[in-house]
Amino acid sequence: MKANPKLTLAIAAFLLLLGCSSQPPGESQPASKPTPPPTETLTGREAFQKLYIQARGWAGDAVPVRLESTVIPNTDGHGGKAAVWRCTFASPARRSIKPYTWAGTGTLRDLERGVNPGVEDGWNPANASQMNFDPSYLKVDSDAAWNVAQQNGGEKLLKTAPQESTQYVLAWDPLGKDLRWHVIYGSKGDPTQLRVAVNAYDGKFIRVEK
């Protein structure tokens, strides 16, 4: 019986295609890496609430000492929001402090996405840099503090240097006896191009610190 050349060619092409697409037994196609979720940013007060809940789990009498943001790649801190916030809490009963950090991304080397507890250390309440504050004084959020800072030199600075990032520090001022936002403009090389203090209770402009 004479073979059909067209049928023979079709079978050969099919076998060739099957051989190219086959893989050794037991091996699976490499799974594609899932796309990481976008970086999340929060205002200071939003991040503080998340951190405060965790700190109260560590010590029921935990009180805040200092809240500060960190600028990471692809974020600039403008508008009062940041992707990383760190708050140090003190426990009078334990005579110790412990930092907690919230991260809006999982791409950082030492931080997981969400709340990350730090290492407990000794606390000296007489130290001016470790003075705690009452959370009820935090009425004004970092986005409102940003707006005040913009009106007092920030807007002018960013018009000439829009690449400058902004950081935020919230701490009790022992001399003024008030809780203050410090809105800090500047790149990593020079983080103090401009520093504006804003009252965290009533939102009033206090002064330009530099």
Selection from 119, 128, 45, 126 nearest residue 88 by Cα: 119
Taking the complete model, does pTM exceed 0.85, yes or no? Answer: no
Can you tell me the distance from the alpha carbon of 99 to that of 209, in angstroms, rounded to the nearest whole number? 26
Query: Which pLDDT score, from 0 to 100, does residue 155 have?
Result: 97
**DSSP state letters, 89-113:** EEETTTTEEEEEEEES-S-SSS--S
Query: Which pLDDT score, from 0 to 100, does residue 21 have?
Result: 47
- Where are the domains positioned within the chain? 42-208
Phi, psi of 169 (to 5 degrees): -130, 130
Digits of tens for pLDDT over the chain (210 positions)?
455 555 455 555 544 554 544 455 555 556 667 777 899 999 999 999 999 999 999 999 999 999 999 999 999 999 999 999 999 999 999 999 999 999 999 999 999 999 999 999 999 988 888 999 999 999 999 999 999 999 999 999 999 999 999 999 999 999 999 999 999 999 765 667 899 999 999 999 999 997
In the three-class reduction of DSSP (H, G, I as helix; E, B as strand; rest coil), residue 66 is classed as strand
